[in-house]
Amino acid sequence: MYKVFINDLLIVLKSESIDNAADTEVITIGNPDIMKGFISQLLSENITGDKILVSSNEDELFDVFSSCFKVINAAGGLVLNKNSKVLFIKRFGLWDFPKGKMEKGESPEETAIREVEEETSVRGLEITNQLPSTWHIYKLKQNWVLKKTFWFEMRTDSDSKLFPQKKEDIETAEWRNPEEAEELLKLSYRSLREGFKTYFNY
């Protein structure tokens, strides 16, 4: 099953054999023309409410879906310090975790560490676990892109001061208690709220 977010809408792509949510519209994708029509409506903002797209093969279904976009890879980190506080950044008024686009030749792990360091100045990062990736659609200049973000749990013992990367429009970088995560993620993107609710047990 694939989950793709666009603004606060969720598009689920999955096999017909998987049970569907009773309160979400299900659209059967029988051929590429149906998919193209759906995406045209989606990008013209004529779609309201979450949707489930189904086909006999969810991987092939996602291949057709993703072929309609330029795909960009990114990576980021959910960082904990020695006091088990979580590293948050705030950008455009929304709370987030540090992340950024992969550069040519980089692995997701290398990108995640580099971006966290660049956006917050934290040092001494060690990846301790790979977390589920997220997908979301947004407009970049005049083109719609589909971004896959690889997420990693990281830890650091560093006590160095945090410096938000102002040129990337990051307003602040802060360590927060895990208990605050649910409230901060309410002021974030739905992809993060959905993607990390199991991690924070809310």
Judgement on whether residues 56 and 91 belong to the same structural domain of the protein: no
Judgement on whether residues 110 and 23 belong to the same structural domain of the protein: no
Q: pLDDT tens digits, residue range 150-168?
A: 999 999 998 889 999 999 9
Judgement on whether residues 48 and 128 belong to the same structural domain of the protein: no
Judgement on whether residues 62 and 78 belong to the same structural domain of the protein: no
> Count of alpha carbons within 13 Å of 88, Cβ hemisphere only?
24
Q: Is residue 202 part of a domain?
A: no
* Residue ranges making up the domain that contains 87: 74-196
pLDDT by residue for the chain (202 residues), tens only, comes to 999 999 889 999 999 876 766 678 999 998 889 999 999 999 988 888 999 999 999 999 999 999 999 999 999 999 999 999 999 999 999 999 999 999 999 999 999 999 999 999 999 999 999 999 999 999 988 889 999 999 999 999 988 899 999 999 999 999 999 889 889 999 999 999 999 988 987 6
Q: How many C-beta atoms surround the C-beta of residue 55 within 10 A? A: 22
Does this model's pTM top 0.95? My answer is no
**pLDDT of the residue at 54:** 95
**pLDDT of the residue at 47:** 84
CB-based burial, 132-159: b 16+ in 10 Å, e otherwise: ebbbbbeeeeeeeebbbbbbbbbbbeee
Q: pLDDT tens digits, residue range 18-45?
A: 676 667 899 999 888 999 999 999 998 8
**pLDDT of the residue at 32:** 86
